[in-house]
A and B are shown apart, each in its own frame.
Chain A
Amino acid sequence: MWEPDPQLIERARRGDAGAFEEIVRGHLPDVYRLALRLMRNPHSAEDVTQEAFVRAFQHMRTFRGRSKFSTWLLRITRNCAVDAIRRGARQESLATRAPQLPSPDLVTRVDLEAALDHLPSELREAFVLIEVFGFSYEETSQVLGVPSGTLKSRMHRTRRLLMEMLEESENTGEA
């Protein structure tokens, strides 16, 4: 994942809109991707992405560099998504969206999306950050604010649940 250099962050911290624009450009794909994963609706994901960047811009001065900038930004994104869901923002299943890659495993991936839809949100967000984004437990812990040990248990539980749901879909022919 892209990390802005410290000088760029410092310029943005001082309110340099041009520097922040560069940061937006660099992080937009990841922030939008996480928002889409959490919201499962492109329109809500756009709103969450925009809100996350605006909130990050307003709070740049509070970023002290104790974590990676990307981790800090994704934490804001996740919080914006949680707020949006609380406000009743529309979510939908990504499983119904057309996949983009030609693949013999297409059906399995669609099944996986459908299974992810049924996961509790605390399991899904850990799964997305670790499995899709490739984050470590430590980084995920900083984004979600939960201990690494909890994440270890959540990932095991998530994998077990997904396997059971995928197995069921294989047996019944539906996800």
Chain B
Amino acid sequence: MKHEVVEKELSARLDGARDTRLDEVVEEHLSSCDSCRRFENRARHIREMSRLEPAPSVPDALFESIVRETRVALPKRRPSFVPRLRIPAVSVRFAAAFVAGALVSAFVFSGSAGLRRPSPALASDIPQRIAAASREVTAYRATFEITERNFHELVPVRRFLTRVAFSASEKFRAEIEDLSVYPSPQWPKNSTVLSVDEGRWVFTGPLSCPREGLPACAEGGSDVRSIEGREPFDGDAIFPSDIVLPIRTLAGSERVQVVGHGTVLGRNVVHVNLTYRDAVPLFAYLHAGGSWRPFFPLDPVVLSLDEQTWFPLAYQVRAASSQERGEWAARNGLPAESSGTVLMDAQIKSFDEHSSPKELALPDVAPTRNAGFRDVDLESLAGRIAYQPLFPSYLGGLRLHRVGHYTNGARPKDEALISFARGLAWLKVRQTRSWSEPALYGNVGALATSLNLPDGGLAYYEPASSSLGRRLSIHAPGWDIYLESNLPIKELLRVAGSLPIKGQQAPSEWLIRRWPGGIVREQTTLERARQVAPYLLLPHSLPSGYRLSVVHVVEAGGTRGVTIYFRRSGTELDGIGVRLHQAAAVGLPPPVDPGVSAVSVRGVIGRYSAVRNELEWVEGGVYRSVSANFLDLKGLLRIASSLSPGPPG
């Protein structure tokens, strides 16, 4: 038989089009033909190279643009997703606030005549414009009216007046006055004050108890937390400045979806749509304490941004629609909230770019905790740490802000912390010459990605989370340096690359985590993982902006498996992203939580845990699980169904 005929059959077999009539002659030919065997091997290698390619990230603005164009394609049809406006039976003054919010949503979603259409270019520009604006804000004060729905079955509507003030770079105050009418005086008023003044952080509010237990659980009294010795821009004692400028909310890459334009307070605004899970930093000033209704991670939030200053002038949370959303509401003691119901509506009443010391004054309460950070002069720092600290030569326009070190023994004795700021943009550089822990230095963990800095050195990077900025850990001979910032990632890398050291790979033992049940080998490559797990599948459909981040090999109970994390590059608020785990197994392990349901996935029966947002199944002797706390079952199933077989091992 001719080589060409055999090769053609081998090629077709690879594509699943085997001609069984040729089986015998092909096998016989292969047993004596090196050339055809080589063709088969090389064809398999080409397939391996082709299918290892990750799915390209779809530009965020593309979806928005397609939806808009399809609407234009059918101009006479009313889009079915225009929400119907319903005024619930509430008192007249609440109805007025609701109507104001509803009007915003009407022009957000309807795209009616006379409104400017959103521009995709603007959508992609917004993160950069906010980042630029963040450096220019020196002072701010504003008043918002907030309406919250379904806090409690006996308190279906609450109303608040909030006053927010800011002064660059680390002074902030949010005073929330509860104007709600409660059924009896036993219900605590949810009035709170949060103040930050560099090293001091104070919260005062009512002692909170579970929302469902009110009013019986209310004991009276106040929740007073007062911290001194706070380090600059400490994620534990939050500085919730996204209500001033939504840097953390929107400055992550590929995040902005513009849904329309309009006016608020007579100013032009752009309406941006995002999910609650991405908008969490916007609510941090409210949720620092007190009692609030919860929101589902996928509840949509429409944020109205001033087109000149990029200050948020209004925001509105609505109910998402999905079966999981209904189950989540039931678990949280909430009534059935139909899709599109307005759950919270915040409207700005006044704002300007001024603030006074009086508006920013800290409540007069004694400190309840000392976090241990002490500010010192830059001149005296070198004497205290016994070396000359390193400075980046590029600071992205930021200026020296606060300098100091810890005095409570919780950190290396020679650790120095130098911070830089301008407006709302900030950067802190922590460094030590005596790091002895077998792990990366700073708040950078197992999910860090290694990347190259502009100077050619290596650094370990983690995107911003809900409490921490974008982070880099650099290990160099004699130095360990940690940088954290809300600067865009490119700027942060440029700053790190301007340090007078060159980062190198962390010692391999730093990348192995041991626990009683087994070992996790971090930062491995996909190819090495495939050697461990030849059954590995890769997703070809991921939420927009998600890319392969890190691969771990997990050894436990005599078996080895592979965990792959997919994350966004700029911001991953829950710190995890999408997690895919695969390991050889004969059946599903016992469920961790009781609330699991059986689902059909990839032709087998698997299970779904709404509590852990995890989909698990066993197919062909392999246990697989996909989890992401921002995805519902539909989203997890979409990823699961896109998994494709890796090339043969």
Contacts and interface: CB of A to CB of B under 8 A. Distances in A.
Interface stretch (A53-61, A71-79, A82-90): A53-61
Nearest to A108: B49
Nearest to B42: A163
Given A2-B638, A28-B66, A50-B62, A109 B52 contact: yes
A54 to B, nearest CB: 5
Given A2-B541, A112-B46, A50 B52 contact: no
A15 interface: yes
B71 A17 contact: yes
A58 to B, nearest CB: 6
B213 interface: no
A136 B16 contact: yes
Contacts of B17: 136-137, 148, 152
Interface stretch (B53-61, B273-281, B342-350, B367-375): B53-61
Residue in B50, B59, B63 whose Cβ sees the most chain A Cβ within 10 Å: B50
Counting chain A CB atoms within 10 Å of each CB, the highest count among B39, B62, B77, B644 belongs to B62
Interface string A122-146: 0000010011101011000000000
A174 B49 CA distance: 17
Interface in B1-17: 4, 7-8, 11-12, 15-17
Nearest to A162: B46
B49 A109 contact: yes
* Prevailing SS type, chain A contact patch: helix
Contacts of A36: 56
B67 A24 contact: yes
B8 A2 contact: no
Given A17-B74, A30-B541, A49 B62 contact: yes
B8 A153 contact: yes
A33 interface: yes
Nearest to B523: A102
A100 B547 contact: yes
B15 A101 contact: no
Interface string B241-273: 000000000000000000000000000000000
Interface residues of A, number: 52
B540 interface: yes
Nearest to A24: B66
Contacts of B130: none
Given A2-B541, A54-B73, A159 B43 contact: yes
Contacts of A32: 56, 58, 62
Contacts of A108: 45, 49
A66 interface: no
Given A105-B527, A136-B15, A17 B70 contact: yes
A92 interface: no
B515 interface: no
Contacts of A30: 540-541
B584 interface: no
B47 interface: yes
B12 A112 contact: no
B49 A105 contact: yes
Nearest to B525: A102
A155 B15 contact: yes
A58 B525 contact: no
Interface string A98-121: 001111110011001000000000
Given A33-B56, A101-B526, A108-B45, 5 more contacts: A16-B80, A54-B73, A104-B525, A131-B50, A134-B645
28 contacts: A17-B77, A18-B80, A28-B66, A29-B540, A32-B56, A33-B55, A36-B56, A49-B62, A50-B62, A50-B69, A53-B69, A54-B70, A57-B70, A57-B73, A101-B53, A101-B548, A105-B527, A108-B49, A112-B46, A132-B53, A137-B15, A137-B16, A137-B17, A152-B11, A152-B17, A159-B7, A160-B7, A160-B39
Interface of A: 1-2, 15-21, 24-26, 28-30, 32-33, 36, 42, 46, 49-50, 53-54, 57-58, 100-105, 108-109, 112, 127, 130-132, 134, 136-137, 148, 152-153, 155-156, 159-160, 162-163, 166
Interface of B: 4, 7-8, 11-12, 15-17, 39, 42-43, 45-56, 58-59, 62-63, 65-67, 69-71, 73-74, 77, 79-81, 525-527, 540-542, 547-548, 638, 641-642, 644-645
Chain A to chain B: the 10 pairs with minimum beta-carbon distance, closest first = A18-B81, A156-B11, A18-B80, A131-B50, A156-B8, A17-B79, A57-B70, A29-B541, A53-B66, A32-B58
